[in-house]
Structure 1
Amino acid sequence: MVKGIFVNLPVKNLDSSIAFFKSLGFTFNAQFTDETATCMVMSDTIYAMLLTEAKFKEFTPRNICDTSKDVEVLLAISLESREAVDALVSKAVAAGGKTYSEPKDHGFMYQQAFHDLDGHAWEIFYMDPSFVQPT
């Protein structure tokens, strides 16, 4: 069983990315931070490694996606309420991010989306817990 996840994202300017995500309320683990990378703490088991493009290229033989034209992944994160979704997206836009779709209300789920400074696509949503059936 999976114990956690570390999502690795290439960034053009590490300091700018750290400032952007700090403004959204995220913290960073100094133990895994240097001039080429940082570990953004998203929860007790979810982390995003922000890596300079040069550092990122050490882990893959493939080209880094041009996020101005293509999407490499949709990073979907759930929050505790619709208000929290709106607040986080508002902070992202104020910090230089850009929304790329209108908010969507599906009744049981509410979502908004933004691109961060490097064009990574973040889908922020709230899902009514009573809607999810036990498996």
Structure 2
Amino acid sequence: MTHIFVNVPTDDLERAKAFYTSLGASINPLFTDDNAACIVWDDNVFMMVLRRDYFATFTDKAIADPKTTAQVQIGLSRESREAVDQVVEAGLAKGGSEPRPAQDYGFMYSRDLDDPDGNSLAFIYMEPQAVEQGPDAFLAEQGQNA
């Protein structure tokens, strides 16, 4: 089994913990201290939110400022379009920002959310038939062009 651990920097660990728990994630206290918080999305997907100076101990590279530089966008699926909207609205209420309008491709619906540090998340719902058939086949079945 593979677990995914995504590390992101923060300037305010307590604010980051409050933000991510407002989105429905939980915190694993066994891997949380004054330097880092383990954000749990599900049994296999985790984010380590690390104080910027602590994050720097894991690499010799410069730590990008996520407010001005996009290096990665973390995409997380949701079970419905409504669930996408709910999680993004919760994030906006806790200080996040939505850098662009929702994207609706017919087979996939997504909304982007930047956390208060500028780390980019995308919340995505994909029609189950599109997952099974691929987007072109799904759209053709719906009478739409890919």
User: When the two structures are superposed, what TM-score results if normalisation uses the length of structure 1?
Assistant: 0.95
- SS of alignment partner, residue 92 of structure 2: helix
Structure 1 residue 104, shift from structure 2 partner = 1.0
Cα distance in 1 for residues equivalent to 2:24 and 2:77: 15
Q: Which runs of 4+ in 1 moved over 3 A?
A: none
Letter in 2 for 1:82: R
- SS of alignment partner, residue 133 of structure 1: helix
Is 2:14 aligned against 1:15? yes
Q: Paired residue for 2:61?
A: 62
Q: Paired residue for 1:3?
A: 2
Cα deviation digits, residues 68-121 of structure 1 (max 9, x gap):
221010111100000000000000101000001111111110011111011011
Cα distance in 1 for residues equivalent to 2:66 and 2:22: 22
| Larger helix percent | 2
Structure 1 residue 134, shift from structure 2 partner = 6.9
Unaligned ranges ≥5, structure 1? none
Is 2:43 aligned against 1:44? yes
Cα distance in 1 for residues equivalent to 2:30 and 2:17: 15
Q: Whose Rg is larger?
A: 2
Structure 1 residue 133, shift from structure 2 partner = 3.0
Letter in 1 for 2:27: F
Letter in 1 for 2:67: S
Cα distance in 1 for residues equivalent to 2:73 and 2:67: 14
Letter in 2 for 1:25: G
Q: Paired residue for 2:28?
A: 29
Q: Which moved more, 1:124-133 or 1:27-36?
A: 124-133
Cα distance in 2 for residues equivalent to 1:90 and 1:24: 9
User: When the two structures are superposed, what TM-score results if normalisation uses the length of structure 2?
Assistant: 0.88
Cα distance in 2 for residues equivalent to 1:127 and 1:75: 16
CA RMSD, aligned part only? 1.4
1:87-98 to 2 correspondences below 5 Å = 87-98=86-97
Cα distance in 1 for residues equivalent to 2:67 and 2:37: 23
% identity of equivalent residues: 38
Q: Which moved more, 1:107-116 or 1:64-73?
A: 64-73
Structure 1 residue 66, shift from structure 2 partner = 1.6
Unaligned ranges ≥5, structure 2? 135-146
Cα distance in 2 for residues equivalent to 1:93 and 1:131: 29
Q: Paired residue for 1:120?
A: 119
- SS of alignment partner, residue 100 of structure 1: coil
Cα distance in 2 for residues equivalent to 1:46 and 1:122: 14
